[in-house]
A and B are shown apart, each in its own frame.
Chain A
Amino acid sequence: MYVRVVVGLAVLILGSTGGEIAITHGMKSVGEPARLRPGAVVEFLGRAVRNGWFWTGVPLMAFSFYALLLLLSWAPISLVIPASALSYVAGTVGAKFILGEEVSTARWAGVILVCIGVALVAAG
């Protein structure tokens, strides 16, 4: 039971984080819209959906959603939703080591406060 929930949480967090990192990488390689006007954004979306990283990210996120549904059938929602706030920390680690973003001390402190805050809000 315990192992199943921990593995489920790991799949949920790594799946959603991995998916979002893949999409971020895809969007960065596509490049931002020339202008923030509807035509330019539609043109940007057209390029985005032809990017392989986008289609790597979407199934990972879908997989993570499926893990969430399974987890909710195994463990109470009061544990699953607050625990999923750990994805803020996992995402920041991924952003630093996979995407090469600079994570300053201030950003780390902010992420950790957000992670604890979201867990508390989700716990109700």
Chain B
Amino acid sequence: MASEKRLRIKTLAMVLAMVVCANAGDLLLKYGMAQIGAVELTAHGISQAFRLTVASTTIWLAIFFLIGFMVSYMTVLSWADYSYVMPAGAIGYAALTFLAVVFLHESVSPRRWIGVVLICVGVLLVGQTKPRTTEVPSEVAA
């Protein structure tokens, strides 16, 4: 019982890390590319954008967070069900909506709020199921 509780906490913490890294990475990437400006689709435009991109601290920070997302995603899938992690990760969409309202003062349509509520209820339902339903390889259980 205690091990199941531990598994659940460990899984939810890793899903949280996934969501934070994915959202931070996407936002920083968007911010970094906005600083660079619209890229002209010519050889010169693309090479200039490439130089600006590799010199941008914001873009490197975005890449760092996106690598963090991939690492936490791979790690959590090494013990938890895909059908648990994938829907639980959708809480990021709800979090982004709240962040957009609180920090960017964006107005959100009723349709989007309904979506946020459905995601939260859905994640709560999935979160109550067992994080792992398949066998653990013997060398891992040891």
Q: Do most interface residues of chain B lie in helix, strand or loop, or is the interface mixed?
A: helix
Interchain CB contact under 8 A, A123 and B81: no
Interchain CB contact under 8 A, B137 and A111: no
Residue of B nearest to A102 (CB): B133
How far is B120's CA from A31's CA once the two chains are assembled, in angstroms?
A: 30
Taking the complex as formed, is A72 at the interface, i.e. its CB lies under 8 A from any CB of chain B?
Answer: no
Taking the complex as formed, is B140 at the interface, i.e. its CB lies under 8 A from any CB of chain A?
Answer: yes
A-B contact count (CB 8 A): 146
Q: A20-B86, A28-B77, A117-B119 are in contact. Are A123 and B125 (CB under 8 A)?
A: no
Interchain CB contact under 8 A, B109 and A106: no
How far is B78's CA from A124's CA once the two chains are assembled, in angstroms?
A: 34
Contacts of B118 in A (CB 8 A): 113-114, 116-117, 120
Contacts of B82 in A (CB 8 A): 20-21, 24, 91, 94-95, 99, 101
Q: Do most interface residues of chain A lie in helix, strand or loop, or is the interface mixed?
A: helix
Interchain CB contact under 8 A, A114 and B87: yes
Interchain CB contact under 8 A, B74 and A45: yes
Q: A91-B86, A116-B118, A123-B111 are in contact. Are A110 and B124 (CB under 8 A)?
A: yes
Contacts of A120 in B (CB 8 A): 111-112, 114-115, 118
Besides A121-B94, A121-B97, 6 new A-B residue pairs in contact (Cβ under 8 A), listed by A number: A99-B134, A107-B129, A114-B119, A117-B116, A121-B119, A124-B111
